């Protein structure tokens, strides 16, 4: 059983992580055709399907995170989305970028987001969530 301060910290953490994904997901949802064309320009196969999965995860995942629904699945989906973003941005050169920390702050920010989601995966949403109210 968590204390009120721990539940509040978990809720605040969920809100902060969701704040990273939700605006971007909404923008991609409203400009879906440009997301598809961007993915097609990168040479990804089936850009419409990939864009639909990415935009769906980036928009619905933060909503589930805020509410506290399906914490492990939500964490896994958002971790997968973050990992896919890192891979699509940096490609196979990710390992070389890790050893040059001053040059790629965005890479380390994405790794920190993945770390926070791993904490969410382990700790769960806390007492102030839909999951604990059932």
For residue 55, give every residue at least 6 positions away whose Cβ sits within 8 Å of its Cβ, in sequence order, or none: 25, 28, 29, 32, 35
Q: Is the dihedral of CA 62, 65, 70, 75 positive or negative?
A: positive
Q: What is the pTM of this model?
A: 0.81
Position 62 scores a pLDDT of: 94
Angle in degrees, CA 11, 66, 72, rounded to 5:
90
Helical H segments across the chain, by residue range? 4-30, 32-41, 47-67, 71-90, 94-98, 105-123, 130-133
Position 94 scores a pLDDT of: 65
For residue 1, give every residue at least 6 positions away whose Cβ sits within 8 Å of its Cβ, in sequence order, or none: 127
pLDDT tens sequence across 25-47 = 999 999 999 999 998 998 888 99
Position 130 scores a pLDDT of: 79
Position 96 scores a pLDDT of: 67
For the chain, which residues score pLDDT lower than 50?
Answer: none
Position 78 scores a pLDDT of: 94
């Amino acid at each position: 059983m968590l204390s009120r301060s721990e539940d509040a910290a978990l809720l605040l953490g969920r809100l902060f992580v969701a704040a990273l994904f939700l605006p971007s997901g909404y923008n991609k949802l409203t400009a879906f055709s440009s997301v598809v064309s961007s993915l097609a320009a990168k040479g990804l196969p089936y850009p419409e399907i990939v864009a639909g999965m990415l935009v769906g995860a980036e928009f619905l995942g933060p909503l589930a995170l805020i509410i506290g629904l399906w914490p492990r699945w939500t964490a896994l989906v958002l971790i997968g989305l973050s990992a896919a973003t890192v891979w699509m941005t940096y490609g196979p050169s990710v390992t070389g970028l890790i050893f040059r920390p001053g040059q790629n702050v965005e890479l380390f920010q994405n790794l920190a987001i993945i770390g926070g989601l791993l904490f969410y995966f382990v700790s769960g949403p806390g007492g102030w969530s839909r999951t604990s109210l059932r």
